[in-house]
Amino acid sequence: MLMDIQQHAREIGLGLDLFSCIQCGKCTGGCPVSLTTALNVRSLVYGALIGDIAGPVHREELWDCTCCFTCVERCPKDVRPAEVIIALRSLLVEEGKVPSTIGNALMGIFRQGNPLGYAREDRTAWMDGLEVQPAQEGCETLLFTCCSSAYDIRAQAATKALVRVLQAAGVDFGHLGTEETCCGNEVRRVGEMGLFEMLVEEGKPLLEEVGAARMVTTSPHCMNTFRHEYKLGMDVLHYTQVLARLLDEGRLNLTGRVEKVVTYHDPCFLGKQNGIFDEPREVLKAIPGVKFVEMDRIRERSLCCEGGGGRMWFEGTNTEGRLAFQRVQEAADTGAEILAVACPFCMAMLDDAVKVKGLSERLKVMDIAELVAMAL
């Protein structure tokens, strides 16, 4: 499979720049899974540069990458190392050599519009008991729920909380209902460029037809692809940005109290990749009663939960040393009772880790929207 990876990367819309690489290792040194798996992105860039990818491309660890983009953020030469992984994955996708669980997720998206493979008609099951205006009738703000936010039981609670908060603040928002389809952020990152293109082609007009001034997403992953890859004709915001603005403008009044010690985990797609560090913290600090504490590894140095880049659907080669295990321990060590998250993937990974590590008595993982709803 000797071929020009850079050429291939450009053809599939990646900005990989192999020739700028000086093999300094800053990418691999910062890669959150480089201590626990065989994945070495620097070495992959080198292999791609000299045309020696036959070996690396068939290694299973290629699927370990979480696409946290720490390597892209840190690279001093603007190489965008993670994109060599996406390019290599896309070659495997073309050959049908995809881990079966990822294949199933892609099939689910193709057939039902969600990676869990649930029925499209059930996408709005979470709305039970709530009155959500159909976006098709026109609205100022389009609420986009991640597939996890719509179908995952734990994440659904956060989605419901967010709807209650937005309604309490009098926000004019609507939802696409069962027409809503997976954004494809992870589809692109596992290298399924054809399916991703299809999702954009069908999704973009659907989203733009609403005529909303802005979109608000429950997940930083959806926000990321809508912002950078769909190029929509509207502002795309993460819900924490909207909540921070509502609080700032005095439209959201929190009269209840949450007497808890709270810490916050930065999602990679929100923080590292989109520079949104302050708004989630502002929201948490505005909740009456909350005592906010920080962990050591935060903001640009935040530790990835390992849920991105297709890892929601792939166990990875490092089942022993999960980063989420480390992360919940670090959160517990701060004395926090609540580990606040702002992403349905982080919720799933960290909530699971709390149970596995036996920390359930001490630490609860909650979405920021849930904490705000508690203070309404």
Partner 1 sequence: MEPRPRIGVYICHCGTNVAATVDVEAVTEFAATLPGVVVARHYTYMCSEPGQALIREDARALGLNRVVVASCSPRMHEPTFRAASQEGGVNPYQFEMANIREQCSWVHHDRHEATEKAKALVYAAVMKAIRLEPLEEREAPVTPAALVIGGGVAGMMAALDIAEAGFPVYLVEKSDHLGGRVAELNRTFPDLEPVSEWLPALVDQVQRHPNITVYLNSRVTNITGFVGNFEATVEGAKEPLKVGAIVIATGYDVFDPRRKPEFGYGIYPQVVTTLELEHRLAAGDLTVNGKTPKDVVFIKCVGSRDQQLGRPYCSRVCCMISAKQAQLVRQALPDARVTVFYMDVRTFGKRGEEFYDEARRAGVRYRRGNVSEIYRRGDRVVVRVEDTLLGRTIEHEADLVVLAVGMEPRPEAADIAALLKLPRSADGFFLEAHPKLRPVDTAVDGVFLAGCCQSPKDIPDTIAQAKAAAASALIPLMRGVVPMEAATAIVDPELCAGCGMCVEICPYGAPGLDPLWGVSRVNAVLCKGCGACAVTCPSKAIRLQHFTPDQILAQVEALVGW
Residues lying near partner 1 in the complex (CB under 8 A) are found at 20, 22-31, 34-35, 40, 42-43, 70, 74-78, 296-297, 299-301
Please give the sequence-ordered ranges of beta strands (E in DSSP) within 113-229, or none if there are none: 141-144, 173-175, 214-217
Which CB, 45 or 199, lies closer to partner 1?
45
Which CB, 152 or 266, lies closer to partner 1?
266
DSSP state of 287: S
Token reading at 81: 């190392």
Q: For residues 161 and 373, is the Cβ–Cβ distance under 8 A?
A: yes
Which CB, 27 or 324, lies closer to partner 1?
27
Token reading at 221: 């992953």
Which CB, 76 or 256, lies closer to partner 1?
76
For tokens 């193709």, name the residue: 110
Q: Find the shortest distance in angstroms from Cβ 110 to partner 1.
A: 36
For tokens 């795309």, name the residue: 236
Q: For residues 174 and 212, is the Cβ–Cβ distance under 8 A?
A: yes
Q: Find the shortest distance in angstroms from Cβ 97 to partner 1.
A: 25
Q: Find the shortest distance in angstroms from Cβ 73 to partner 1.
A: 8
Distance CA 148, CA 227 (A): 19
Distance CA 81, CA 45 (A): 7
Q: Find the shortest distance in angstroms from Cβ 266 to partner 1.
A: 12
Which CB, 228 or 257, lies closer to partner 1?
228
Helix extents (H) in 226-320: 239-248, 278-286
Which CB, 70 or 181, lies closer to partner 1?
70
For tokens 């920390």, name the residue: 359
- Residues counted in the chain: 376
Give the DSSP H/E element, type plus range, for residue 83: helix 82-94
Sign (positive or negative) of CA dihedral 246, 250, 252, 255: positive
Q: Find the shortest distance in angstroms from Cβ 308 to partner 1.
A: 18
Q: Find the shortest distance in angstroms from Cβ 220 to partner 1.
A: 19
Q: Find the shortest distance in angstroms from Cβ 222 to partner 1.
A: 26
Which CB, 42 or 281, lies closer to partner 1?
42
